[in-house]
Structures are given as C-alpha cells and as structure tokens.
Amino acid sequence: MKKLILLSFMLMISSISAYAQNWTPLDTNTNSLLLDIDKDSIQFLNDYTCVYAVKMMKNSQQPKVIFIKADFSTSRLGVIEVEDYLSTTYNPKKVFVNSSAFLKPVNKNSVLKLSYDYTNAIYNEKRVGKSLKADIPQLTSYRSDYKAKNKNEYINNTAKELYKNWNPPKSAKNSSAIIIVKVGKDGSLQNYVFAQKSADEINNRAIMTAVEKSVPYAVFSDDIKTENVTLQFLFEYKKFRKTVK
C-alpha cells in the first residue's frame, strides 16, 4: 500500500513539473522529416529577438528538440542547444535562462527557416499591434554612428563595451577565456569564436552574451582601411585585456 501511495505521489510530481507544450506542425513537404514548433515556448527577449523550441524527427528516428534564438532586425538565426526529446524532461524555460547562440544569416534552404518564418509572422503581428516597445528603425545604437579617432581608441572602446556587458558568474573566479571577434567596418558582428574556452561553461555563455549584446559595434576609424577587423579579447575574472591582430 505504501509503495502504491509513493508511486502515485511520484506520478503527481512528474505531471506537475512537466512543461506545458503546444506543438504545431510545420509543412516540410516530405514525410521523412517532421518539424513542429512549440507555440508555448515562444518568448520575446526584447523588441526584436525571440527564443523558441522546435521538435524534429527524421525517418521515424528519436526526435530531437532544437532550442533556437532569432533576431528579426538582422534576419539571423542561431541554435542554443540540441537534445533528445522526452516529454517528461522537456523544459525550454530552463534552457532559455542563458540564451547565448551564434547567429548566422537565415539560410533559405534550411528547414529551420520554416520556424523562423513562423515566429517572424508573430513578430510582425506584434509590431502592427504595437505590443512591442520599439520599431526596427529605433533599434540602432549610438555606437553605430560613433567613429573612433584612431585604431587604439577603437580597440579600447570596444573592450570597454564588452566589459560592461560581461556578467561573469562567481564560479568563473580564477578562470580565463580568449575570444576572437570579427567586426565589419559598419560595426556589424560578422563572426566570433573561442580561441580558448573558460573551464566554466556558464562563464563561456556570459562572454558570448557580452559579444552579442554589444552589437552594433562602432564604425571604423578613418585609419582602418579594411572591410573588417579581427579583435582578440582575454576575459579574466579580475582582469580584462584586449589585443588586435
């Protein structure tokens, strides 16, 4: 009897902790690939960025859930995390606590474009309904119009902006990381990659967040003649240095 009561209690806890799901199928034009988007997972982080989850199944294999971040002001998309889909453990809110992802231009040939188009339609509806705080023309930062006097000033100001947006966890103490950031002359973020990751994964995500949050970067100074520049930054818990190559 006690075992039966315990089992009933465990089932009740499981049902309570399960995340509400509202899977909506997206038309992939093929039966070998099924794609669904969880409408309940769609969450706007700001006026132009949202996160959401899609479930993908190929040829009746174990379905995967892909957690995605989309930027509608730049038409970019990034994968936050991928995991096997289990209804009992599925919890997008937990994943979205730190929604760092490298965003790339939306590939028109990618099946994930279906999910981008779906959420972009919702975004446009919200804009029309004025339920968002700002329109896209208002999203540009003063940094996009600011021009440094020289290369050193450009590097120093970029480092300060990254440092301001970096929120390292306490667990990152005594750890360090090096990240390489490629910036276009118009201040656009073209790419970034870790040259050396921190031993603390939460800190790595905090660094990625700082890089993305600093967009747009300042436009190039007149003495930078190239179309883009590669900057390398060292993140330490107590120190923050920058170099350029």
Radius of gyration of the chain (CA): 21
The pLDDT score that the predictor gives to residue 99 is 81
Q: Which of 35 and 5 is assigned the larger pLDDT?
A: 35
Q: 17: exposed, middle or buried (C-beta count within 10 Å: 0-12, 13-18, 19+)? A: exposed
The pLDDT score that the predictor gives to residue 38 is 94
- With 70 as the cut, is the pLDDT of residue 29 above it? yes
- With 80 as the cut, is the pLDDT of residue 5 above it? no
- With 70 as the cut, is the pLDDT of residue 8 above it? no
CA dist list (Å): 88 to 34, 44, 84: 20, 25, 11
pTM for the full model? 0.51
Q: What's the pLDDT tens digit per position in 127-169?
A: 765 444 333 333 334 344 567 778 888 888 898 889 888 888 8
- List the beta strands (DSSP E) in 92-222: 104-105, 176-184, 189-196
Query: Cβ of 115: how many Cβ atoms within 10 Å?
Result: 24
Q: Whose structure tokens read 């959401």?
A: 52
Q: What's the pLDDT tens digit per position in 162-217?
A: 988 888 888 888 888 999 998 888 888 888 888 999 888 888 888 988 888 888 88
- With 70 as the cut, is the pLDDT of residue 243 above it? no
- 59 sits in the region (left: phi over 0; alpha: psi -120 to 50; else beta) called left
